[in-house]
């Protein structure tokens, strides 16, 4: 073997395309899609998708990684625990609650916010079950501030302001949770049987019969919610005597 042969690079791999030095600068490379970088926002969006499909128990870090086509380890560069993901997802859906400009009609402003809040909770039936967590996200705090600002324009302050805010929040959470579990998840036949049981025992349940309890043909969930909200707001007088 000569010195030239010794230093000459060999390309004996079967099927390899042989080129020449410098050809790398002359070849046209095919366009290949670049992987989308993993971000916290992508993680949150994927988490909301999983939560909407499978609920809280169906969200795992492994399943989340699979949906994002990454390894579970990659998630931990952006979030530390599943609790982090749940907190971020909850605050994210609160961002879907629209905010309107303040008006002189403080009850109307409060009603609009509460109505929109309930609509978001119904769209994401896993969310009401998480409301007991520390609510420190920017979207949650902004909407709480918006609600209390409306109530403050109505003359509320101090403990009364806190009480009414909590009452309205509990009303939204309770109704949304009821709709998510009973109205949407339960067998429709169960509701029919419950209504039949009540009507078959008028002496035992006189008020339930007269009020049409569980009578969805008489009142829809939307109608009942609006009526209840009106009652709460009507019972919230201004401190100046309104």
100 vs 147, which has greater pLDDT?
Answer: 147
Which pLDDT tens digit goes with each residue over 128-144?
A: 988 888 888 999 999 99
Task: List all residues 6 or more positions away from 121 whose beta carbon is below 8 Å from its beta carbon.
Answer: 127, 128, 172, 173, 176, 177, 180
pLDDT attached to residue 34: 60
pTM (global) more than 0.95: no
186 vs 65, which has greater pLDDT?
Answer: 65
pLDDT attached to residue 6: 45
User: What is the distance between the alpha carbons of residues 207 and 229, in angstroms, rounded to a whole number?
Assistant: 22
Please, what CATH class does the domain formed by 40-93 belong to? mainly alpha
Q: What CATH architecture does domain 99-234 belong to? A: Orthogonal Bundle (1.10)
pLDDT attached to residue 237: 59
Place of tokens 């998708």: 49
**Residues 92-106: what's their mean pLDDT?**
93
Which pLDDT tens digit goes with each residue over 61-98?
A: 999 999 999 999 999 999 999 999 999 999 999 999 99
Task: List all residues 6 or more positions away from 199 whose beta carbon is below 8 Å from its beta carbon.
Answer: 209
Lowest mean pLDDT among 137-141, 219-223, 238-242: 238-242
Domain boundaries, the chain: 40-93, 99-234
**Residues 107-133: what's their mean pLDDT?**
92
pLDDT attached to residue 27: 73
């Amino acid at each position: 073997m000569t010195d030239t042969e010794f230093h000459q690079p060999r390309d004996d791999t079967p099927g390899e395309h042989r080129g020449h030095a410098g050809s790398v600068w002359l070849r046209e490379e095919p366009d290949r899609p670049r992987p989308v970088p993993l971000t916290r926002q992508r993680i949150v969006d994927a988490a909301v998708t999983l939560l909407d499909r499978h609920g809280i128990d169906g969200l795992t870090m492994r399943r989340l990684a699979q949906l994002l086509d990454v390894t579970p380890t990659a998630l931990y560069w952006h979030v530390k625990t599943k609790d982090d993901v749940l907190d971020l997802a909850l605050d994210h859906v609160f961002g879907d609650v629209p905010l309107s400009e303040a008006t002189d009609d403080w009850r109307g402003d409060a009603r609009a916010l509460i109505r929109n809040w309930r609509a978001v909770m119904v769209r994401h039936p896993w969310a009401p079950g998480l409301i007991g967590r520390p609510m420190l996200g920017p979207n949650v705090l902004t909407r709480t501030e918006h609600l209390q600002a409306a109530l403050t324009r109505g003359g509320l302050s101090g403990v009364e302001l806190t009480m009414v805010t909590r009452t309205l929040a509990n009303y939204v959470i309770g109704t949304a949770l009821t709709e998510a579990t009973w109205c949407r998840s339960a067998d429709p036949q169960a509701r029919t049987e419950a209504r039949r049981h009540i009507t078959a025992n008028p002496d035992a349940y006189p008020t339930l019969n007269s009020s049409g309890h569980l009578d969805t043909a008489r009142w829809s969930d939307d109608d009942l919610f609006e009526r209840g909200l009106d009652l709460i707001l009507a019972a919230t007088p201004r401190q100046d005597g309104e």
